[in-house]
Amino acid sequence: MSLLITNIGELVTNAPRDAVSVASPGPFEALTDAALVLDDGHVAWTGPATQAPSADTMADAEGRAVLPGFVDSHAHLVFAGERGAEFAARMAGQSYSAGGIRSTVAATRAASNEQLRVNLARLAAEMLAQGTTTFECKSGYGLTTADEARSLTVASEFTPEVTYLGAHVVPPEFDGNVAGYVDLVCGQMLAACAPHARWVDVFCERGAFGADEARAVLAAGEAAGLLPRIHANQLGPGPGVQVAVEAAAASADHCTFLTDADVDALACSGGTVATLLPGVEFSTRQPYPDARRLLSAGVTVAIATDCNPGSCFTSSMPFCAAIAVRDMHMTTQEAVWAATAGGAHALRRTDVGHLGVGARADLVMLDAPSHAYLAYRPGVPLVAGVWRGGERVEDGRLRSTS
């Protein structure tokens, strides 16, 4: 059953005009007074509304904007418990205590699979309602073989973009024995987790895992068939970005503290995306990453939420895009591209992040005439409809017109 959505005020495609088929996301591109045909779960046609072909059914966008569904390439959604009091204390000026993440680990270990599933389902629904049609989900709050493996099993019920993050922090039972924990992460734990994941990740940071440990985790993961990505340069300068580029990681995430050599390495990497997570800096009052410096150097930039119960508990890509525009000086076009096509690149996905002919029919309709409203009207629920794989999965507040 094909669907024609017509009278679209602005259609962001991230795809060349008039292309017969589109193999992967391109630069930012948008059409005005446009239409779009979805068929069999994919984009079948885009172009001027006046030239639109007929379809089995029709919807009138009434001048609203349509964008590719957001691609959130970095989220930690398998956990139990919450840390609202810790956030309030941090905002009141108390310094961050390292006990925070351990409280989430304890709550996650104590939770049943069903409790983890219910919490993740709630967050996934929240994301979808805000226009996110593809998301990545990490483990990392279990930190035992059994708890990491079941975290990944639960995650894989919701998304194919599942990331093994046994190397998130060193758990309390390995205090003073980082090497012993890395051996576990690269050995028995990896063997139990690899069948349930696509990606391997490591938190490369002072106080977490160093360069050699990160290299070992990524290499072991790759040997088990997983693709590398990394938490890098969040809290201070460090080796994370260099390790990412060496490993040809799909993405180096955070990139808040970069040297010129780090920026050069990303620019010359030929495929390592810098994934910026501005919700974290917002929620921890840290300095934002220098997006303009990365963009000027030609680095591919993605925006993601990093949704997690400690450093950033937003699931909203529109919110993160608005911060990127307001506080990181990205243009509205750059921010939308980074939140769609950029995320697709960070997940090595060619079928999402754009609305070229042949793309998966994942799209979000805004109750606004242009993509700029995501930053122009921050905090306002603008999503009027979401389609995933061609199916209408969110009605938002759009009046039924079909």
Return the structure tokens found at 305: 């939420």
In terms of C-beta density within 10 A (0-12 exposed, 13-18 middle, 19 or more buried), how is residue 361 classed? buried
- Which alpha helices (H) appear in 268-304, and where do they start and end? 278-284, 291-296
Strand partners, 51: none
Show the tokens assigned to 20.
Answer: 């017969």
Number of residues assigned to the chain: 402
Q: Which stretch binds Zn ion (CB under 5 A): 182-190, 208-216, 298-306, 369-377?
A: 298-306
The distance of closest approach from Cβ of residue 113 to Zn ion in the complex, given in angstroms and rounded to an integer, is 22
Minimum Å distance from CB 358 to Zn ion?
32
From the CB of 75, what's the least distance to Zn ion, in Å? 8
Please identify, using beta-carbon distances, which residue of 310 and 356 lies nearer to Zn ion: 310
- How many residues line the site for Zn ion (CB under 5 A)? 1
Is there a contact between 123 and 138 (Cβ–Cβ < 8 Å)?
A: no
Min dist CB 142 to Zn ion, Å, is 15
- Contact pick of 306, 334, 362, 394 for Zn ion (by CB under 5 A): 306
200: number of CA atoms within 13 Å, CB side? 28
Three-state DSSP at 396 gives coil
Of 169-177, 211-219, 305-313, 325-333, which segment contacts Zn ion by CB under 5 A?
305-313
Work out how close the CB of 76 gets to Zn ion at its nearest, in angstroms, rounded to a whole number.
6
Task: Please identify, using beta-carbon distances, which residue of 168 and 371 lies nearer to Zn ion.
Answer: 168
Nearer of residues 38 and 303 to Zn ion, judged by Cβ: 303
- CA neighbor of 12 nearest in space, from 68, 69, 61: 68
Considering only the stretches 204-212, 265-273, 306-314, 345-353, report the one whose residues sit in contact with Zn ion under the rule CB under 5 A: 306-314
In this complex, which beta carbon is closest to Zn ion, that of residue 86 or of residue 306?
306
- Which residue's Cβ lies closest to Zn ion? 306
**DSSP 8-class letter at 50:** G
Q: Is 281 in the site for Zn ion (CB under 5 A)?
A: no
| Candidate segments 8-16, 285-293, 302-310, 317-325, binder of Zn ion by CB under 5 A | 302-310
DSSP 380: S
Question: Measured from the CB atom, is 29 or 205 closer to Zn ion?
Answer: 205
Instruction: Tell the smallest beta-carbon distance from residue 92 to Zn ion (Å).
Output: 24
Q: Which is nearer to Zn ion, 75 or 330 (CB)?
A: 75
Stretch that binds Zn ion, among 122-130, 172-180, 291-299, 303-311 (CB under 5 A): 303-311
CB of 211 to Zn ion, least distance (A): 18
How far, in Å, CA of 2 to CA of 55, rounded?
5
Q: Minimum distance from CB of 224 to Zn ion (Å)?
A: 21
- Quickly tell me which residue has 């046609």 as its tokens: 45
- Residue closer to Zn ion, measured from CB, 272 or 370: 272
Q: Kindly tell me which of 306 and 394 has the beta carbon lying closer to Zn ion.
A: 306
Question: Closest Cα to residue 323, out of 343, 339, 300?
Answer: 339
Where does residue 369 rank: exposed (0-12), middle (13-18), buried (19+ CB within 10 A)?
A: middle
Sign of CA dihedral 258, 263, 269, 274: positive
Could you tell me if 249 and 218 are in contact, meaning their C-beta atoms sit under 8 angstroms apart?
A: yes
**Distances in Å between the alpha carbon of 84 and those of 75, 88, 101, 311, 312?**
18, 6, 13, 11, 11
Minimum CB–partner distance for residue 308 and Zn ion (Å): 6
User: Which residue, 72 or 306, is less far from Zn ion as judged by CB?
Assistant: 306
The structure tokens listed for 150 are 């079941």
Interface with Zn ion (CB under 5 A): 306
